[in-house]
Amino acid sequence: MVINKKKEESRMQKLIMNGCVVFVLLLLGACSMVKEQNNAHENHLKTEEAKETSEVSVEPVKVDLTNTSGKKVGEATLSEAKNGVHIKLTAQGLSPGRHGFHIHEIGKCEVPDFKTAGAHFNPFKREHGFKNTKGPHAGDLPNLEVAPNGKVDTEIFASLVTLQEGKPNSLLDMDGSALVIHDKVDDYTTDPSGNSGDRIVCGVITK
């Protein structure tokens, strides 16, 4: 009886040890699977990040700004960002106060009225104005604030446009586009241009 009891205990110990080995193997397998899943997720995120980076890999565009006499009064630099275009603008010789500022649909700035720049850039067929329930145009931008000395130095983000060619809202389409400063403030509501008055400064956006 004692011998059988020892054999039984030995058998139970072996079963327990075998069970422990199986458990450890299963645990290692599960850890390996989780690690593989995490690596796959990280690789996916890196791929998506690379795609986003490649999407914004566009050369900045320099724009000369001229007044109604054809004299250069400033410049702007447009840079592609993740979800739009960053605009850095400096100008002088303007009347102090707020001025309407827009992107127009054609890259042509003929003096003295700049009407050759066409209407506002509007690929999505909206109405003008940030406060307009049917707006805004893709080319609608915040008013510029000109200092008492007639100078402006500002940065603006245009979220509805891109510099990537081939896209419907690209500023670099076949006929380009233009930056236009108006002589009056934009009311952000009235279609088609916010009652912002005459065009007093224009700059061609092109490659």
Instruction: Kindly give the residue spans of alpha helices, DSSP state H, lying in 56-64.
Output: none
**Terminal alpha carbon distance of the chain:** 98
φ, ψ of residue 54 in degrees (nearest 5): -65, -30
Compute the distance between CA of residue 21 and CA of residue 15 in angstroms, rounded to an integer. Answer: 10
Compute the distance between CA of residue 61 and CA of residue 100 in angstroms, rounded to an integer. Answer: 22
177-202 burial code (b ≥16 CB/10 A, e <16): bbbbbbbbbbbbbebebbbbeebbbb
Q: Which residue in the block uniquely carries the two structure tokens 């609608």?
A: 140
What pTM does this model have?
Answer: 0.73
Q: pLDDT digits over 14-65, tens only?
A: 655 655 555 545 555 555 554 455 444 444 444 444 444 334 578 999 999 9
For the annotated catalytic residues, the residue numbers are 102, 104, 120, 128, 137, 140, 182, 199
DSSP 92-124: -SPPSEEEEEEEESSS---TTT-GGG-SB--TT
Q: pLDDT digits over 154-199, tens only?
A: 999 999 999 999 999 999 999 999 999 999 999 999 999 999 999 9
